[in-house]
A and B are shown apart, each in its own frame.
Chain A
Amino acid sequence: DTEVTQTPKHLVMGMTNKKSLKCEQHMGHRAMYWYKQKAKKPPELMFVYSYEKLSINESVPSRFSPECPNSSLLNLHLHALQPEDSALYLCASSLRGRVDNEQFFGPGTRLTVL
């Protein structure tokens, strides 16, 4: 299995909702990432889990909270989002320890906040 899967593919939510995005990989990778991508822009790194240690992009608001239940799963919990949070959310993984840190990307979740 050489892919990263993400569910759901599309999500529409109101500003008062709580929802979660899920990411899974079975490649034995020990680092997993969440990115946010707005239209016509490159992906922006939000969080990194590497060997169970979390690194946070300081600019990410607290209404986004990651969770890593095990080394194969990465969730992104969403609460009280704003319309400007609408974007494509990408998950990626890498075999930590690879010299080049190649990242493998999932297909993304298209999030719309109403």
Chain B
Amino acid sequence: AQSVTQLGSHVSVSEGALVLLRCNYSSSVPPYLFWYVQYPNQGLQLLLKYTSAATLVKGINGFEAEFKKSETSFHLTKPSAHMSDAAEYFCAVSEGRNRDDKIIFGKGTRLHILP
């Protein structure tokens, strides 16, 4: 069965510093991986996704993530944090169309940006 683990329910970084949000996955088949962002009282917005085309994936708002099969990881990074990046971030995994339609979410990481 597929699963996702996000290390750290809260992460605080200073404005302008590197953002690193950690995600590890478990899947019995090659996974499809997603990072979603959620601002207060809003829906989820896709930041980026890994679908096996390239291991380094670039997303919106300057975020990127690297798929590392050997480490079963898909960590999210951004070189320089901005105050507007403060939000909840969810890593998610899907086993693709040959499985059911579900994606599995991690528990989320709240990103705090310090001035």
Q: Are B43 and A101 in contact (CB under 8 A)?
A: no
Q: Is A102 in contact with chain B by the CB < 8 A criterion?
A: yes
Chain B CB within 8 A of A45 CB = yes
* B46 in contact with A43 (CB, 8 Å): no
Within 8 A of A (CB), among B35-83: 36, 41-46, 49, 51
Total A-B contacts with CB atoms under 8 angstroms apart: 64
Task: Report which of A42, A50, A92, A100 forms a contact with B32, defined as CB distance below 8 A.
Answer: A100
B49 adjacent to A100 (CB under 8 Å): yes
Query: C-beta contact mask, B81-115 vs A, less than 8 Å → 1, else 0?
Result: 00000000010001011001111011110100000
- Smallest CB separation, A80 vs chain B (Å): 26
Question: Chain B: which residue is nearest A102 at the CB level?
Answer: B49
Decide yes or no whether A79 CB sits under 8 A from chain B: no
Which interface residue of A43, A48, A98 has the most chain B CB atoms within 10 A? Answer: A43
Q: Given the complex of chains A and B, what is the CA–CA distance between A41 and B107 in angstroms? A: 6
The proximity string for A residues 43-64 relative to B, scoring 1 for CB distances below 8 Å and 0 otherwise, is 1010010100001000000000
Q: Say whether B32 contacts A41, CB under 8 Å.
A: no
Known contacts A106-B43, A107-B43, A110-B41: does B107 contact A99 (CB below 8 Å)?
no
Interface members, chain A 76-114 (any B CB < 8 Å) = 88, 90, 92, 94, 96-108, 110
B-side interface residues toward A, CB under 8 Å?
32, 34, 36, 41-46, 49, 51, 90, 94, 96-97, 100-103, 105-108, 110
**6 A-B pairs with least C-beta separation:** A42-B105, A105-B43, A100-B32, A105-B44, A101-B94, A100-B51
